Structure 1
């Protein structure tokens, strides 16, 4: 049975039962980001890139507003129509991790099992809740789990600290994705490598470079195979397009190509001694 997670929001800037569209969108996007990060971990999937089917199955959430109150309801959809009437191990693990993470936000403590990538997603959820309401009551399956004032949340505990022994890297590529609601951007280099930028400094300004070549400087994060997957605390600046400013020369005739090609001149005569000429004709059977 899929668990239901309820976020009862109190002290919002909208009438009871309603929520500012931007605040709702930010909460939904942050919940999706948290769900995807947890699902990738529980299904042993890659940290970035298009989520495989097993990740989407576990991380798929149904979102709703409970009538009569400002309560955001998130329920794991499972496999959808025809789903089993019991949870698979990875689904059970997802529910437990999701509940534990939200409780950690309420307790204002980051557990040791939270990775840097998941920590940034949790930070996004904490920020969206702070912006939407003064107080949150968190319930799981209708049971109250935590009630906390959002002003008591310290976002910095979810901030990923840059390791002093990690040198900054420079990455040049195409800024092909920028979601300013979830504060996540993505770049791709010329050979197709995609790298996530989960927390860009001044991402609003960086978002204006969408669709252009950029230079990214920040701290690298690698997966278990050593492949670059994320750049943390990145700064982004415009970079020149390598295709701009280049020129294509006019067509060249075949005669010019042959004339400039290395090798003997076809118009020149061969200078052979009598002995060399006789040996040549003998070899030809003449």
Structure 2
């Protein structure tokens, strides 16, 4: 894989969808449609991911998120719309993109009979200028299971091996599917540090995760997908202040000093005719926004 481009800083809020592609766009999806048995699982979806940024694509089960990413990775063929990766059409430019794009699948996609270190070395040998295998082994703690076959690895160990395989070729764009799934806190911190390093090196990182704290900690831009469309996009901070709140009640948010008395405020509201006033202390999170946007019902 070629060397990554120069890093750029985080972006401010962007509207839902992709619009015109910026000069530093590594991934541009426009009007993507994918149908199964006549039903549109992805329905005119558009989004953009830039170099030197971590872009999180979030959505509940069945929202079309996974199908979208699989179309971007070249694992599925869209029924309509376009996907451009590193300036090339995803379908016609597939051969040229193989050495420039890294993919980490949640199920690993790794040969079950091979030993972990053998797999990583084999993948590294496919590239002209791969990362140092020993460095990745140390960074991700692979040494403890280097001689263990993939089929005998725990879920978290497979995730770390899959991440190493996805980045060993120095990709310009990398797709990471649930990179922290099954990891203990120490391993998760190591993974997050590596992902942030990729961003600093100018790599475009597209992250899919069900862990809202992971997206909130890592992402420069978040796209929330539901019913096959992007329903909200922006920085985490922009989404925290702009996303609608569930229900019909009026919600007022403000920053209070550490010694603020919530009980006194509740009493004051009640005395001034605000029935059933509830004062909740705490910071609004990306999970709150996600639930407000996509609902709280199980799917």
Identify whether the pair has TM-score above 0.5, normalized to the shorter chain: no
Asked which structure has the greater CA Rg, the reply is: 1
Higher strand share: 1
Q: State the TM-score, normalized to the length of structure 2.
A: 0.23
